[in-house]
Structure 1
């Protein structure tokens, strides 16, 4: 999707174009059939209302687009009212500007074939209307080519912006994935080093202090006089040191974390998307399962950016001795019929390979939710 500045510039340009059509009609002579001017203004007002409602719904914050303002229905209203206004006054060639305005939301919403079909339909309407208004062959050809070229130009500009936005989202997703993988790798290396130090302390120093305490225990039974006091003190010190070593080993093992840092790297830097992350780690997480969770979160962030037009994403993760529970929700447009692509299919395969389960839920205007369980 375009950036906020690009959306604002596009909307302002559309408002100016629609207002110019209304001003030209109000100030100039009526070129339509007698008695149709009122109906033209009705069609124009409906077009303008649909255009404004579409823009307002897109900028509604916070929260998803209202369900009662679907983008497809508003686009249909704009197409129908533009065709009606043109048919009522084909002699007023500036009315055809509404066709150019309509192409912009169509190029954002429809697939390429649908946009091409709309341009052909509206161009045919321009040609037919100009001929019906009494224009000669030269005028019909010039007006048809002129407004057809305007529509094609508008569609190409929007499609180029859309492709650039998709590429930016893909680049952001790849960058987030690289950062998360680096963070997870660094965290895994730190955790491995902590575990190695903990094992060395336990195996070398701990065992040595245990043997020393046992020897001092034996010596305390054999020593007498002033020597017995020093042996008892040495045995007490050895026991205290052994307790300190065990506490240090437990502390090092308890610091083995890193999933939250990796997730923050995965969700950080998502353009135009507010991410709320909550992680509860109640114990060490297996690196392989942690990687599965990070990859799934990355895919859901990418999905929210590319397809859902979401503005807010919440990630809630709980890691316990039983396993990992992840709940991810966005406030995007949602869909009535979910057709998993390669990304969601890959998520399912990763989770099922660990023996876990994953569920998706979505509805128009209700965003997208993914919930997964990964056993320990």
Structure 2
């Protein structure tokens, strides 16, 4: 029997929700409650309120799980979930909160980096020490040992969730790299096509054109050496040779006129399938370059912009616009709705972009502020008329 495929992110979310609902079953029966927790008592009311708050915060904290967004905004919700779970354990005089900490351990890897998330899981488990230590039948070593037992369960849940997140990140990175490879292949195809047209035009001009010119000259000489009907045939052959030479020159001119690299297909391929980011691409009707080096620089700049936005910006949208300016330049304008930066320091990627642009006489301008996104403008001059 074939096992149905599930979205593992949604499955992880609803598994946590199911676990949360199961921990609330003691609320339905007074026989399940710890001694001294009567219906309507302050402890019972506190338990109920904390339980409802935990569920609401879990729902909002796991909404959009796996998307590239500002994950740190979930940290206040995680803190609230920890406080609510601790309150449930405190008011219920039980270890139910430890089960809810397992649910939190499944959310932490999607919110915090590795080492902060590991510390978070350990601290939340040992925060139950006061809950266990206040019980009459628990000594302090017993309370510590009980917390250590729940650390084992939390680590297993955390590791399972972390593996799922790493698989998602790897899959998204593969999709992004595949888009870059397909765009590079498109650019190479265009470059190969242009090189082949150039080779054919040169062969026609240098070989066929040369021989036709020599033939015309020989026919011109022959027309002066023969008389009568033979001379008429030589004249006709000379006319045909001149027409053929004119046709060859016209074909060579047409080949050279179409000798440009169309960047539209490569850029559309590059932005297609980038995971977790909506890219709004704006291109002129025909965006072509006659220099392979400039085409490569422009494509690499677009790649670097998309890569930085995906990895660092925490953005949901990227607007990418390319144009030919009135000053005979190619321009690429990019901006996103990410977190931005107050004290910006460019890394190797942007440094490499500046170096690529400098090779062709281009320039780069960056504008970013905290909570105002990231904006980048790049210009590179077009090659002089060939």
- TM-score under structure 2 normalisation? 0.74
Conserved in 2, the CA contact under 8 Å of 1:283 and 1:319?
Answer: no
Conserved in 1, the CA contact under 8 Å of 2:69 and 2:315?
Answer: no
Query: Which SS does the other structure have where 2:127 is aligned?
Result: helix
d(CA) in 1 for partners of 2:287, 2:144: 73
Counterpart for residue 53 of structure 2: 46
Counterpart for residue 323 of structure 2: 318
Conserved in 1, the CA contact under 8 Å of 2:88 and 2:96?
Answer: no
Q: What whole-Å deviation, never above 9, does each CA across 1:243-287 have from its counterpart, x for those lacking one?
A: 644443333221432433443554455456665655444543321
Counterpart for residue 133 of structure 1: 135
> How many residues are paired up?
368
Aligned with 1:284 (options 289, 298, 304) = 289
State the Cα distance separating 1:12 from its structure 2 match: 0.8
**CA-based RMSD:** 4.3
Within 5 Å, give how 1:161-310 maps onto structure 2.
161-205=164-208, 241=244, 244-253=247-256, 254-268=258-272, 270-271=274-275, 277-280=281-284, 281-307=286-312
Conserved in 1, the CA contact under 8 Å of 2:183 and 2:266?
Answer: yes
Conserved in 1, the CA contact under 8 Å of 2:65 and 2:110?
Answer: no
Specify whether residues 213 and 317 from structure 1 end up closer, same or farther in structure 2 by C-alpha distance, changes over 3 A only: farther
Specify whether residues 230 and 107 from structure 1 end up closer, same or farther in structure 2 by C-alpha distance, changes over 3 A only: same
Aligned with 2:149 (options 140, 146, 151) = 146
d(CA) in 2 for partners of 1:147, 1:124: 9
Counterpart for residue 8 of structure 1: 10
Query: Which SS does the other structure have where 2:364 is aligned?
Result: strand
d(CA) in 2 for partners of 1:187, 1:18: 56
Aligned with 1:120 (options 116, 119, 122) = 122
Specify whether residues 240 and 364 from structure 1 end up closer, same or farther in structure 2 by C-alpha distance, changes over 3 A only: farther
d(CA) in 1 for partners of 2:340, 2:17: 29
Conserved in 1, the CA contact under 8 Å of 2:9 and 2:66?
Answer: no
Higher relative contact order (CA 8 A, sep 6+): 1
Aligned with 2:111 (options 109, 121, 142) = 109
State the Cα distance separating 1:20 from its structure 2 match: 1.4
Counterpart for residue 379 of structure 2: 373
State the Cα distance separating 1:303 from its structure 2 match: 3.9
Conserved in 1, the CA contact under 8 Å of 2:259 and 2:290?
Answer: no
d(CA) in 1 for partners of 2:137, 2:249: 96
State the Cα distance separating 1:6 from its structure 2 match: 1.6
Specify whether residues 218 and 244 from structure 1 end up closer, same or farther in structure 2 by C-alpha distance, changes over 3 A only: same
d(CA) in 2 for partners of 1:29, 1:329: 56
d(CA) in 1 for partners of 2:247, 2:36: 95
Query: Which SS does the other structure have where 2:49 is aligned?
Result: helix
Segments of structure 2 that go 5 or more residues without pairing to the other structure are none
